Amino acid sequence: MKKIVVLGSINVDIILNIARLPLPGETMAMSDRSTAGGGKGANQAIAAVRAGADTSFIAKIGQDRSADFMLDTFKYDGLNIDHVTKDDKAGTGQAYILLDEKGQNSILIYGGANQTITTKNIQNASETIAEADCLITEFETPLEATIEAFKIAKENNVLTILNPAPAKTNIPEELLQLSDIIVPNETEAEAITGIKVTDEASMVAAANKLHTMGVKNVIITVGANGSFYSLGEKSGFVNAFKVNTVDTTAAGDTFIGYLASALDADLSNIEEAMKFASKASSITVQTQGAQNSIPYVKNVNI
């Protein structure tokens, strides 16, 4: 069984259903409101464990009802939460998701306890990281902690996957060089490289720019169109599965969790792993919400 560690965020998602995004200064009614577990780190960890991987999570929560809600979810799925700690001042992270009738979303984030993760928290989890096959992280927790975790991973030959989301324009060179695989979507790829991703030629150009910045391997996801990979001399495109989209929340996180669960250490099965991840994502987008929409591996058939 693949051992995966995820360093990342925990948010309670407040989903606000609206016909369309409001204009500046506009007041409009919602058609519905719901609550679900979320946070990019938590989503990726849930995806990995539901994909069948032995998954450990490094994260922080507050001392509030939201924390209890999230811990119950993690325990139900069998996620290792030995390194999910509580902060005595900051509250559990929150995300406010504006979801329109076409299934597209805009998200506002309150970082809360997610922003209190320190290098000490990472060092306390160093043994867990060292024993893993793969370490995943994103940008909803402090960069200092991310770099420390990736250093420990590389010292122990652990595969590192960086999901550069939310998008950042100035990623430390050290972090890029510690990343075995970077997995941005088209918006994030443009933010990092300055190259607008619109077709395969621009995907190649963006991937080449990322290679020059120090990243060995690149996967660029482009939503309903699919995903592009560049492993230096080898590159290709994997088409998405066509489905009726209800909500794209957690689709990218599902892709990454499932990808890590299937990917061989030498990346020799990159296309097969991406196809598997794409299938899981296509199931996620057919249900509203984040973690509740992430499928179990028994339901992912390709």
Catalytic positions are 253
Whether the CB-CB separation of 93 and 109 falls below 8 Å is answered with yes
- State yes or no: 6 annotated in a binding site: no
- State yes or no: 27 annotated in a binding site: no
- State yes or no: 42 annotated in a binding site: yes
- Token look-up 């990281």 returns 129
Enter the tokens of residue 155.
């010292």
- State yes or no: 85 annotated in a binding site: no
- Tell me the β-bridge partners of 84: 59
- State yes or no: 105 annotated in a binding site: no
Enter the tokens of residue 107.
């998200």
Q: Where are the alpha helices (DSSP H) in 78-142?
A: 119-124, 126-130
Between CA 11 and CA 14 the distance in angstroms is: 9
- State yes or no: 226 annotated in a binding site: yes
Strand pairing class (11-17; 93-99): parallel
- State yes or no: 287 annotated in a binding site: yes
- State yes or no: 269 annotated in a binding site: no
Of 118, 198, 129, nearest to 160 by C-alpha is 129
- State yes or no: 141 annotated in a binding site: no
Strand pairing class (93-99; 105-110): antiparallel
* DSSP 8-class letter at 246: S
Enter the tokens of residue 277.
């991840």
- State yes or no: 62 annotated in a binding site: no
- State yes or no: 284 annotated in a binding site: yes
- State yes or no: 82 annotated in a binding site: no
224 burial (CB, 10 Å; 0-12 / 13-18 / 19+) is middle
3-state secondary structure of 83: strand
- State yes or no: 185 annotated in a binding site: yes
Strand pairing class (80-86; 134-137): unpaired
* DSSP 8-class letter at 290: S
- State yes or no: 262 annotated in a binding site: no
- Return binding residues: 11-13, 39-43, 140, 185, 221-226, 247, 249, 252-253, 284, 287, 289, 293
Q: Which residues are annotated as a binding site for substrate?
A: 11-13, 39-43, 140, 253
Residue numbers in the known binding site for K(+) are 247, 249, 284, 287, 289, 293
What residues are designated binding site for ATP?
Answer: 185, 221-226, 252-253
